[in-house]
């Protein structure tokens, strides 16, 4: 009978073998994508799932993620720690817990982030209100380029982000549910401009409800927790159900790239369930 040390070594070896067997997706980079609508430039990073080159007949859903510089590369990420989104997607796809997807990481324009990510202009802060233009940039300028260059499924497009990027993603999914069929809404800035996003949920009347992942960290503060729960309850009141809304509280998580990266695999698995 093997001793405990041998058993542990065997288990550890199997774990390493499973990890090494995960196929890796590929990243393409467009360093200076120019928007005429927003009159600025930004880097775009495109993740293609494992096996993309092996199946020329296959097409893929697309996820547009905000704050692209924080998603894939520690050297570019805030505080030196990215979401490690490629690894999360590779592992979810490799475990067949998620269908393969293309992910488009859209860098924010540093000086314009608050303006572009918020749906209304806050006169007190003297900021905000360009979310509609940012949405036009995604739909009218970037999406056609991605659809032409990659094998996408046109009517399976989702959007995602965290903090103000989460606010933006929910706003655009509510405003254009025919384009954005799903949204990853992590630690959203519900507080913006008198919680205007809550009013948008209450006014939602479109027949199609985008699939929504909504979450919050337990260490983000009482107000953030209260706001996220309020948003969850308002969505449920508008007929989002367990099939179209997943709410998750990570009790130990703070408001950081590390925390969002730790749970993004769960969000991918919810938005892109295995076929």
pLDDT score at 170: 98
Task: Output the average pLDDT for the chain.
Answer: 94
**Which pTM value belongs to this model?**
0.92
pLDDT score at 1: 53
CA-only gyration radius of the chain, Å: 19
**The two three-digit tokens of residue 168, written as one number:** 């933006």
Give the domain extent around 101: 23-271
Q: Helix, strand or coil for residue 71?
A: coil
Asked, for residue 88, whether it belongs to a domain, the answer is yes
CATH code of the domain covering residue 153: 3.40.50.1820
Cα separation, 86 vs 52, in Å, equals 14
Spatial CA neighbour of 173 closest among 186, 185, 182: 182
Asked, for residue 2, whether it belongs to a domain, the answer is no
- Could you read off the pLDDT of 164-217 as tens digits, one per residue? 999 999 999 999 999 999 999 999 999 999 999 999 999 999 999 999 999 999
Asked, for residue 114, whether it belongs to a domain, the answer is yes
* pLDDT > 70: percent of the chain: 93
DSSP string, 166-223: HHHHHHHHHH-TTTEEEEEEES--TTHHHHHHHHHHHH---S---EEEEEEETTS-HH
The count of structural domains within the chain is 1
Asked, for residue 10, whether it belongs to a domain, the answer is no
Asked, for residue 61, whether it belongs to a domain, the answer is yes
Asked, for residue 7, whether it belongs to a domain, the answer is no
Asked, for residue 11, whether it belongs to a domain, the answer is no
Asked, for residue 13, whether it belongs to a domain, the answer is no
Question: Which regions in the chain score pLDDT beneath 50?
Answer: 16
pLDDT score at 10: 59
């Amino acid at each position: 009978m093997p001793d405990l040390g041998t058993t542990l070594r065997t288990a550890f070896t199997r774990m390493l073998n499973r990890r090494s067997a995960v196929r890796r997706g590929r990243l393409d980079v467009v360093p200076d994508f120019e928007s005429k609508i927003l009159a600025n430039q930004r880097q775009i990073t495109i993740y293609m799932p494992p096996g993309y080159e092996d199946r020329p007949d296959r097409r893929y859903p697309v996820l547009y993620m905000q704050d692209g510089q924080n998603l894939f590369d520690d050297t570019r990420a805030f505080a030196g720690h990215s979401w490690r989104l490629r690894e999360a997607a590779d592992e979810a796809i490799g475990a067949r817990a998620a269908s393969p997807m293309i992910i488009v990481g859209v860098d924010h324009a540093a000086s314009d982030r608050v303006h572009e990510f918020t749906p209304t202009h806050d006169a007190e802060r003297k900021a905000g209100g360009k979310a509609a233009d940012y949405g036009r940039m995604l739909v009218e300028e970037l999406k056609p380029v991605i659809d032409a260059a990659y094998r996408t499924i046109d009517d399976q497009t989702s959007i995602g982000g965290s903090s103000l990027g989460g606010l933006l993603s929910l706003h655009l999914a509510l405003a254009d549910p025919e384009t954005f069929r799903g949204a990853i809404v992590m630690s959203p800035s519900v507080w913006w401009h008198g919680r205007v996003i809550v009013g948008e949920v209450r006014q939602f009347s479109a027949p199609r409800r985008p699939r929504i992942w909504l979450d919050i960290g337990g260490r983000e503060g009482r107000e953030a927790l209260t706001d996220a729960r309020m948003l969850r309850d308002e969505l449920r009141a508008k007929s989002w159900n367990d099939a179209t809304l997943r709410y998750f509280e990570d009790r130990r998580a703070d408001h950081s790239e590390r925390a969002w990266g730790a749970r993004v695999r769960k969000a991918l698995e919810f938005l892109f369930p295995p076929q």
